[in-house]
Structure 1
Amino acid sequence: MKALVIFAHPVPESFSSALHRKVVDTLTARGWEVDDWDLNAEGFDPVLSCEERRNYQDTESDRSAVQPHVDRIMQADALVLVFPVWNFGFPAILKGVFDRIFLPGVSFRLEDGFVKPNLTHIKKLAAVTTYGGTRWRAFGAGDPPRKIVKRAVWHVTRPEKTRYLALYDMNRNSEETRKAFLDKVGREMDAL
């Protein structure tokens, strides 16, 4: 099995980085082949250009700028997103993956005006994330990241297993709470 881990955080000593290491280490120890895509370290450009937007619907257009990233997603059996929630949304660099890589003909296809899933080879989908605020604050804001993962990304993958692992209230969490969440992430990746 091959897992594509997409990591979005610019600070190597962050708690998100510790979560990222836990995910990669646990999956590797289980014998998974892990494609570790650290967006910041690899210098991924999240900006959808004018030309890319103009050609968005054209599945025959030149996609050489993003083809290596498309290939990575197409080779994955599992997709694991590791990111912090900032301002009740994804970090811009991760949002750019959805804008630039989850294209018609890649993540979905249009049939008679309806979106049909195109990443059905992905059998497992997981998100590992942290929120500065409480679960209630996220709920009150509509919790867009949770909805996008559990509805939009789920829809184009239709995985057998989906997990959304979130640690809320990072602004006030203790070292014990963070360690307990790291352990939970390890258990969940071990069961993925």
Structure 2
Amino acid sequence: MSSGIAVLANPAKATGLDGGGPHSSQDRYNATARLFHWTIALLMAGMYVTDWARGAAERGSPGRVWWLSAHESLGLLVLVLTIARLSWRLTHPAPPIHGTPLVRRVAEAGHALLYLATLGLPLAGIGRAMSGGGDVVFFGLVIPSLTGRNDTLAALTSFLHGGLVMNLLLALIAGHVLAAMWHQFLLKDGTLRRML
């Protein structure tokens, strides 16, 4: 029997439900994975808030410098935690994704793209700051530019950080949240509880 027919014949099996109940506790992400997920999510929100506040502050003002330093610090922390999260993931596989083969493939692709964007945005930000000839600040620790002023690199990293990767990440986050809501309120399959 094909997987599509099997799903139609037994949707409870395809969604990981047994008689309409929630996923089993073995389907839940472990505490470390959940901590990484929610900490990075909060830090990403903080990055957007600090970037907005920096943009709203007067150019050259101490407040603008402070918000930029806070933004850079959070971005570097996201980068470090994402690398740690990926290392953890390599040694602690995620619980299986339930659903049709298409749902599983889309979820896996979405997660992979989220990892790439979460790595790419801070890296592009660091490149943008350094190629503009500036230092990067990590909670008071000043990291000098490794590139010096480089207009070509600055243009590329500005495009990536301020446009492509940032917009991709926003779209991925929106898709991730919508998928979680779809599972929680329409399918009612307990998927959201895996990360709570």
Q: Which structure shows the bigger proportion of residues in helix conformation?
A: 2
TM over 0.5: no
Normalised-by-shorter TM-score class: under 0.3
Normalising by the residue count of structure 1, what TM-score does the alignment of the two structures yield? 0.27
